Amino acid sequence: MNESGDNSVIRPAPVEIRGFRHYAAWLTRDEQAALLADLRGVLAAAPLFSPITPSGKPMSVRMTSAGRFGWYSDRRGYRYVEQHPSGVDWPPIPDRILGIWTAVSGVVRAPECCLINYYPPDAKMGMHQDRDEADFTQPVVSISLGDDGLFRIGNETRGGSTQSLWLRSGDVMVMGGAARLRYHGIDRIAPDTCALMPKGGRINLTLRVVT
């Protein structure tokens, strides 16, 4: 929906890349700014933290979550947990974000986790599968804000050929169907490519049905 609450914004058709549906520039600039304002509320209740990988290394992204579950990682492994590390429940997923899921996901269930990843300009995310959820018929929907991120898509097993594309502020990507378990990652952020966030960097939201 646009700022006045109607559906008059003409949305781009998606382009399919290895089964992922890429909606370039799905969100208008006003919608991106409104989303960022929603996220400031979430971050006030559930501040970003630096997760540790199971092998003991700090991840270069900082993260937090909204929804019934938050994604978490430490020496004990990757998993979903019902509280922020401070002990409080995760705040609810903002309605504007749920609206994006409804528009593009193609499924009837609602997301139970909105993982918020903040990439400082030098952050990246290694190739991985999203497989901590119970039902792989449910897609993962990703929303990008801020600086451009170079997204790489691989295969259902590690290795093999890959394809890369830049994810820009306002882009939405649906990772579902036969492609739900494809490896993917972020190779790098292009600093100072977007003026949305005064201090730069990139935010990626991923919406997931967990149970």
In DSSP terms, which residues pair with 205 in a beta bridge? 116, 143
Report the candidate in 157, 144, 137, 133 with the shortest Cα–Cα distance to residue 100.
Answer: 144
Interface with Fe ion, residue 171, by CB under 5 A: no
Residue count of the chain, please give it: 211
User: Does 80 engage in binding with ligand SIN (CB under 6 A)?
Assistant: no
Encoded tokens for 76:
């004990």
Q: Does 154 bind ligand SIN (CB under 6 A)?
A: no
- The two structure tokens encoding residue 97: 């974000």
Asked if residue 155 lies in contact with residue 14, where contact means CB atoms within 8 angstroms, the answer is no
Q: Please give the residue whose beta carbon sits closest to Fe ion in the complex.
A: 130
Interaction partner, residue 125 (Fe ion, ligand SIN, none; CB < 5-8 Å by kind): ligand SIN
Give me the 108-137 binding string for ligand SIN, x by CB under 6 A, dash otherwise.
Answer: ---------x-------x------------
Site for Fe ion in 60-89 (CB under 5 A): none
Looking up tokens 């309605």 gives: 95
Question: 186 contacts which partner out of Fe ion, ligand SIN, none, CB within 5 to 8 A by kind?
Answer: ligand SIN
State the sign of the Cα–Cα–Cα–Cα dihedral 20, 153, 166, 175.
positive
- Which of 113, 153, 167, 189 binds ligand SIN (CB under 6 A)? It is 167
Q: Beta strand pairing status for 202-208 and 70-74?
A: unpaired
Cβ proximity to ligand SIN, 31 vs 171, nearer residue: 171
Least distance from ligand SIN to the Cβ atom of residue 5, Å: 28
